[in-house]
A and B are shown apart, each in its own frame.
Chain A
């Protein structure tokens, strides 16, 4: 773990850094491919809705009380699932009855005549029915997830999305963060639903629970990362880095947390998925576990690779942010080589009249640097001379906040209680 810790320290200090924000088009493309795959799965394969949503057929098997045991029901369930009829691979089999009569109930999705024949055959065989025609009666049953449940759930979701946009706006004071978080959420949902469609698993109420959990988790994860972004960019004016760099640093600083959280949250889900899909092979467990596994993976991925780059991209069009970025870039260049702009002297060096150029603007240094090699070398302009008494203040390199000390800023020391000691 030592190396991982070292990595954590380096990520924190910014010595090791993964360029999440800068290489955003790579991540966008990657997500685009996944979304297209998932979307096509959803489009062409469609979701395999379960009995609870579409209704189905119910077979009532009347049998002697001695045979209506849980063991028989379990055996029958496996036998029907083994027929490999897609609509019957997740049957619900229960014992039923009161003192008067006992029976076993088998519920499957709607079957064709042929499939019905197969299923009744399997029932008759595995329960040793002497007169299957008489013992088995079938009926159509409707969905238990009525349209009302779905409608109300949709209303709830819309209200939730609107409120969460407003709430994040209020907390972060930045609507672009809300937008980025909701885009990331949509990204996660599309991928999760698409992968679910591709897997061909049946959609049960457990799946819906899984999808809803993803809804909360994706936003939760994004908020944790954005909280760090906000913290880093709080004093952007004093910062020596651009917004994009600070956002990238925030992602790197929370990277260890993201990895740890994902491991801790995904390990139990992975175990459930393994147990549900591979050991048991049927049942609600695997539905929930698959939705959660894919969704949490996508949620952790999207807050790092989608939400934050998207936020930085949206913010980069703001005037303050872009000017700050230009200053940061110029500063980085200057820090790398302070005298990069000073030409090496040659004899026939063309000179420009030092009095001719106007005072450089804030971003002047960067522009000069770009043209330096091509045109005549310009001597860095002189500061205007002091005319009367006193001295002339150098121009500000960046916008300066008014301190209320009429430009005679004094070193300050916060009181002890404010210094967090």
Chain B
């Protein structure tokens, strides 16, 4: 059997390159300072005040606080704090001075509902709609389509299965255009990546004055049967719809009660107004939400995935309205995705969507799609909050001397450790110190990279924890060195002992670190908030321990074992007969069974 030739030098070189690349990644973040927590650098405090006729119940408030906590601290590493205050306020404290981008994500109720569209029309005063060019082409005009295999280019083929194409409000044939444009005129698409999709749903001609269409008679169908109600909402609702106007451009819809059992008249961001049936699917039937750029697409989308019963309802409804024409408007039947009482998009369905996946497209940015999917993922808030929330900057909660004292203490502690290692292990102590230094370097690089990638934030206890973790890392080296010494005591030469000791120490360390990793993974999966953050840090430090042990300490030892200084047992090498305690032991019998081979 050909034995693999150990090439310690090459391993070390590759490891060094990996560390360099890691730091290169960290450099992309543009800062060499880790992100510091609330206690060390302060942050942003958002105060949300509940509105309503009476104060919310305490458990409603704490439920809302838990949901908000999940939204701002889903991965557990951003070290934010969410607490209730005085019976109607929720305080959200987020590290970092300028985190106003998170305000929307925090305060959004995220009440997502799917409703059927009975009537629609342009809902702003006509003075604004006379110039079609003034229609807000840059504002989001989301549309919905199933996640699997759909993209603007898929929309170009109207017959494509499982695609829900955004229905143009005035000219249906526009639906074909965006995809065609993407293919034939890539330049133009690149020039106006945001305007091309929105053009489809923007009114490019003044709408007709809303009036009750002819098909509506008498009281209409029961509102409990949305599919029938869609065809005949009744005179009462039609009149309400006709009288309704959307807020002028630039103003958002005031938050209001959105009763899922009643029809709803509301608007989207472009000023189109909709008469909608009762909710057919609720946000609670959502399994999860995410955000991505679908293949062959340029824009971000928010993907939705329904639970089993939600998926079934969605399939039934899309089947029922697919390729159907509304008797009221003479256009294809549509449904609307309503978030917090505002229509996000109102796509029509070309064929039934059976797999329970949908996506909200539109000109989202990465940040806005992430924000929306995060809000949706952790559920709707049970209460609504006054607008706008109070946003303040808060200072650090710890005195400046705490950080410097903590770091000084850590440095002194590590210095004593190094002195001890040098005294006890002599030459080998240098390997310990180098390994610790490399571990610290990798930990710091990881903190920097994760600060950018996952919002990893360091608080003072976090820093202390990392110092301690680096200390615990030293255990692997100690186990290894003790094994090498044991092997040498049972009569092996240094070079052999390094390899034999490695085999045994490796198994021990893998088993012991396996337990730590198990703790980290289990806690990360099952817990939330601070505990999750802890599990994350524990996992990282354990993995780094193993990486340094396998790719630095061992190759380093192999390399050193070929140096005369070490393998000839120089008295400062840490492996001399004297330091091993086997000198002057003339009567030393070959270790008997007494664990000698152990």
Contacts and interface: CB of A to CB of B under 8 A. Distances in A.
Contacts of A1: 423-424, 579
Scoring A220, A270, A417 by chain B CB atoms within 10 A of each residue's CB, the highest score goes to: A220
B406 A272 contact: yes
B413 A224 contact: no
Nearest to A9: B581
A13 B580 CA distance: 12
B414 interface: yes
B355 interface: no
Interface in B112-161: none
Contacts of A276: 405-406, 409
Contacts of B315: none
A411 B474 CA distance: 43
Interface in B281-299: none
Interface string A247-259: 0011001101100
Interface string B38-79: 010010010000000000000001100110010000000000
A153 B398 contact: no
Given A8-B485, A257-B478, A272 B529 contact: no
B526 A159 contact: yes
A283 B402 contact: yes
Contacts of A2: 578-579, 581
B402 A280 contact: yes
Contacts of A94: 42, 394-397
Contact of A261 (B83, B395, B474, B531): B474
Interface string A1-30: 110111111101110000000000000000
A12 B595 contact: yes
Interface stretch (A124-132, A208-216, A310-318, A355-363): A208-216
Contacts of B518: 160, 163-164, 167
Interface in B551-598: 578-582, 585, 591, 593-596, 598
A216 B405 contact: no
Given A261-B474, A267-B416, A272-B464, A285 B529 contact: no
A285 B394 CA distance: 21
B478 A261 contact: yes
The contact size tier of chain A is 35 or more
B598 A231 contact: yes
Contacts of A206: 459-461, 464
A353 B464 CA distance: 78
Given A2-B579, A256-B482, A292 B512 contact: no
Contacts of B402: 280, 283-285
B102 interface: no
Interface string B63-107: 001100100000000000111111100010000000000000000
Contacts of A7: 581
A148 B528 contact: yes
A156 B530 contact: no
The contact size tier of chain B is 35 or more
A55 interface: yes
Given A156-B523, A156-B526, A156-B531, A13 B596 contact: yes
A268 B594 contact: no
B183 to A, nearest CB: 49
Q: What secondary structure prevails in chain A residues at the interface with B?
A: helix
A336 interface: no
B527 A156 contact: yes
Contacts of A74: 399-400
A144 B468 contact: no
Contacts of B69: 144, 146, 149
A149 B405 contact: no
A149 to B, nearest CB: 4
Nearest to B486: A12
A217 interface: yes
A279 to B, nearest CB: 6
A187 interface: no
A232 interface: yes
Contact of A227 (B393, B508, B591): B508
A322 B471 CA distance: 41
Nearest to A279: B405
Nearest to B79: A205
Given A7-B581, A142-B85, A267-B417, A96 B464 contact: no
A13 B396 contact: no
B243 interface: no
A254 B527 CA distance: 35
Contact of B464 (A231, A256, A263, A285): A285
A208 B530 contact: yes
A142 B65 contact: yes
Contacts of B173: none
Nearest to A263: B420
B534 A292 contact: no
Interface stretch (A40-48, A238-246, A366-374): A238-246
B391 interface: yes
A70 B400 contact: yes
B86 A213 contact: no
Interface string B519-553: 11011011111110011001000000000000000
Given A212-B523, A215-B519, A260-B478, A269 B461 contact: no
B517 to A, nearest CB: 9
A146 B393 contact: no
A220 B478 CA distance: 14
Scoring B396, B410, B459, B593 by chain A CB atoms within 10 A of each residue's CB, the highest score goes to: B593
A14 B4 CA distance: 36
Nearest to A167: B518
Nearest to A280: B405
B479 A257 contact: yes
A323 to B, nearest CB: 18
A98 B392 contact: yes
B91 A141 contact: yes
Nearest to B461: A206
Interface string B467-488: 1100110110011001001100
A396 B78 CA distance: 67
A191 interface: no
23 contacts: A4-B424, A9-B489, A12-B595, A70-B395, A94-B394, A95-B395, A98-B392, A142-B84, A144-B81, A156-B523, A164-B518, A212-B531, A212-B538, A216-B538, A254-B482, A257-B482, A264-B420, A264-B471, A271-B412, A271-B413, A276-B405, A292-B468, A421-B496
Closest 7 CB pairs of A and B: A268-B413, A9-B581, A142-B84, A271-B413, A95-B395, A156-B526, A275-B409
Given A13-B591, A96-B395, 13 more contacts: A13-B595, A93-B397, A149-B528, A149-B530, A152-B527, A156-B535, A163-B522, A215-B519, A224-B479, A240-B593, A264-B420, A268-B414, A276-B406
